[in-house]
Chains A and B, each alone.
Chain A
Amino acid sequence: MRLLTHNMLSCNIKGVTNGFPLKLEADKWVTKEVDLNADFLRGVFPKIEWSALVAAARVLGFAELPEQADASMLSSNDFLRRFHHALLELHVEEGALVCPETGRKFPINKGIPNMLLHEDEV
């Protein structure tokens, strides 16, 4: 699971109003290099909840993202490289995503977050 995906997931248990961002817990993660695509990064930037990305990257030991970011930074190659690495190259293999409101844990196994809800949660 890439951190892009972490940034796009929310907890949808019935009645939960504050299901995003999910807190990331990581037991195992890997880095997989992938070509940087500046067009994609610039296009996706407005959709990213920056503070959630910063926090998740930090869990994986990557602390090179600025605390705050705005679109003007997208002209910097150095910023794009860091953004790219955090968003697309770090993969969580084992761990969990924790709902900020209920504390419900959604496991991540072999790189796949299990967001399936129990019968009493829908």
Chain B
Amino acid sequence: MEHLHEMELASTSEGRKEPQKIFMSPESMPKIAKIQLVSSHPEVYEPCDDSFLLVDALLADRSNLINQNPKFCLEIGCGSGYVITSLALILSQYCPGTQFYATDINLHATHTTLQTSANHGVHVEVVATDIALSLQKRLQKSIDVLVINPPYVPTPEDEVGADGIVASWAGGFQGRIVIDRILNVVDELLSVNGLIYMVALSENDPYDICQVMREKGFGSRIALQRSTEEERLCVIKFWRERETSEDGERADNVSSLNGWLGKVPFINSLRKKGNENNNS
């Protein structure tokens, strides 16, 4: 499979199936949600470093997403709607039939997301539901692109799923409680060629997350990583592993994951800490 460099993809209306080599002018740069058009509410998480990282990962993988020509895209835990609106803006020009879905456990967030998408002239179908509970039976194996910025902050267990904005960050032990619940349903949701992009924090043990997903038959790689003063974040990309894959991505992905992890000693030290905690 030929891997196209991001800048080789023409940002023209006829460019979807036959990417052309052109230089991108500022006008043809892909559109994402504008902060000033993102709706807000005191009980809804505002776009922050993690949201920007996830959108940057989607932008960087734009040609793969477009070539996928997705039918259904879903964001679990949509908050302000910044990410799903950006995804809709990235794809809508090339994939006019794509349907965008978003869920949140916080009712204020569902209304904020609907408003944010409307402010940008795109349509997102929003459902107030826990993870994807009310959709997962009927949308079984139908989601082509799944994006998740989960509540990943390590917190006391009783804050997980609490009312209002707390639910947007409270992740329980190692920040993994909601992440692990989400990972339990992605196999049911994802289509054969589906892709998942999920934000994780170093404290969540991304290496272990990838191992968990490998056991479920998913390949993974770190699509993007960034350190801020407060946290070390990454976006993990997952896809279904096939028995016989001729595409070189698999090998690349495994090596890039190992390479990244090898360069990041803090993960190993955290894992040791986690084990010590478990043993004590």
Contact = CB atoms under 8 A, between A and B. Distances in A.
Given A9-B127, A111-B114, A112-B114, A4 B135 contact: no
Contact of B127 (A47, A110, A112): A112
A35 B110 CA distance: 25
A5 B137 contact: no
B188 to A, nearest CB: 13
Contact of A9 (B96, B126, B135): B135
A83 interface: no
Contact of A115 (B96, B128, B139, B142): B128
Chain A binding surface SS class: loop
Contact of A114 (B97, B114, B128): B128
Contacts of A116: 105, 107, 128-130
A87 B73 CA distance: 17
B139 A8 contact: yes
A10 B134 CA distance: 5
Contact of B138 (A1, A10, A113): A10
Nearest to A49: B138
A2 B138 contact: no
Nearest to A111: B114
Nearest to B113: A112
Interface of A: 1-2, 4-5, 7-12, 19-20, 32, 34-35, 37, 39-41, 43-44, 47, 49, 110-117, 122
Interface of B: 71, 96-99, 101, 105, 107, 110-111, 114, 123, 125-130, 133-135, 137-139, 142
